[in-house]
Amino acid sequence: MKLNGRPRAVVAGGAGFLGSHLCSRLLAEGYAVYCLDNFMTGRMENLRSLERDPHFELIEQDVIQPLPPSLNVHEVYNLACPASPPHYQRDPIETVKTSVLGTLALLEFASLRKVRFLQASTSEVYGDPKEHPQRESYWGHVNPIGVRACYDEGKRCAETLCFDFSRRRGLPIRVARIFNTYGPCMRVDDGRIISNVVSQAISGEPITIYGDGEQTRSFCYVDDLIEGLFRLMMVQDYAAGPVNLGNPDERSIADLVQSVVRLTGSRSEIVYKPLPLDDPKRRRPDISRAKELLGWEPQTSLDQGLARTISWFRSAGASVAPAVGQQNLDAGETTRVV
């Protein structure tokens, strides 16, 4: 690893969808980047072009394992955690350990080195929200014993740890509550809505809508999200609490599917499957805090972002691999019929 007096960052989860985009962005900003990942859902393909950069180094290990205290870095980003429901539900105990013990290990490291720490939290901390749109002041509505709890409660506890390290040890932390984000470098078998629908539409496979498709999400293009994370890490005098990062353009799942069908010209049939348990009905970020604190708001429309994503999926050969969905889960435990 060449350092050349560069600022240095650890990106935990750097081989994943968002993490690999963040590593690229940091390298472009003149950073030396240590990417920590155990490849649970990350992929070497995401790192191919980065590995050639002399300022990039891969540390292949579980985030729960401590980093060497001698690792001399200035910033720590924690993105390590499977984010797609079928992936984080596959081994829920591992998901809780990753979120809670992994965040704790990285916080201890950051605290020892007295460096900034950014936690990739999630809109899932709001659960199936009773308040709409969701502001950071909302405490959420999470089922603590349901099938999504390993992720939701793991991320909530990780936030708790961040704020306790800030209060007790003066650690400069930042917490981003990320809303549904999509774009190139998502796994074809990721299992989330946009990767599923795009790969299904391109390959002519049936497009799967869970439930009646009236549930909503707000979709943020990856470049916009990475800009928000970068600005959040950079911001001085951060005392604002968690910051929502997402695109307030709220769409129903049925509406999203129609957009993908229109942009791909797909003739796929649409099939309706049972709605997963505890699937939130509505989600839209209030991004006033991000606008005020970071001067940030998304720049990419859904059509623009989808067009770029579709083009990447086409070139990445998405049509040969099946989308992942509920067929990979135990239907008896995880779904209900609407």
Residues near ligand UDP, by CB under 6 A: 84-85, 180, 192-193, 196, 208-210, 215, 217, 253, 275-276, 279, 325
Taking the least distance from each CB to ligand UDP, the nearer of 34 and 179 is: 179
Residue selected from 23, 42, 207, 329 as contacting ligand NAD according to rule CB under 6 A: 42
Of ligand NAD, ligand UDP, none, which one sits near residue 39, judging by CB under 5 to 8 A according to partner kind? ligand NAD
CB of 150 to ligand UDP, least distance (A): 13
- Helix or strand (DSSP H, E) at 335: strand 335-336
Identified catalytic residue from 151, 182, 210, 238: 151
Which letter does DSSP use for residue 298 in this model?
Answer: -
Residue 85 contacts residue 59 (beta carbons within 8 Å): no
Strands, E assignment, 123-215: 173-178, 181-182, 207-210
**In terms of Cα–Cα distance, which of 161, 183, 182 is closest to 173?**
161
Contact assessment for residue 63 and residue 102, using Cβ atoms and an 8 Å cutoff: yes
**42 vs 246, beta carbon nearer ligand UDP:** 246
Q: Which is nearer to ligand NAD, 195 or 203 (CB)?
A: 195
Q: Which does 63 bind (CB under 5 to 8 A by kind): ligand UDP, ligand NAD, none?
A: ligand NAD
Q: Which amino acid is at 66?
A: P
- Residue 82 in the binding site for ligand NAD (CB under 6 A): yes
Residue 41 partner contact from ligand NAD, ligand UDP, none using kind-dependent CB cut-offs of 5 to 8 Å: ligand NAD
151 catalytic per annotation:
yes
How far apart, in whole angstroms, are the C-alpha atoms of residue 98 and residue 90? Answer: 13
- From the list ligand NAD, ligand UDP, none, which binds 42 (C-beta under 5 to 8 Å, kind-based)? ligand NAD
Sign of CA dihedral 258, 264, 269, 275: negative
Instruction: Kindly state the smallest distance separating residue 16's Cβ from ligand NAD, in Å.
Output: 2
Residues 121, 155 contacting (CB under 8 angstroms):
yes
Asked whether 327 and 274 are in contact (CB, 8 A), the reply is no
**Residue 329, SS3?**
coil
Considering only residues 91 to 120 of the shown chain, the ones binding ligand NAD according to CB under 6 A are 98, 102, 120
Residues marked active site are found at 151
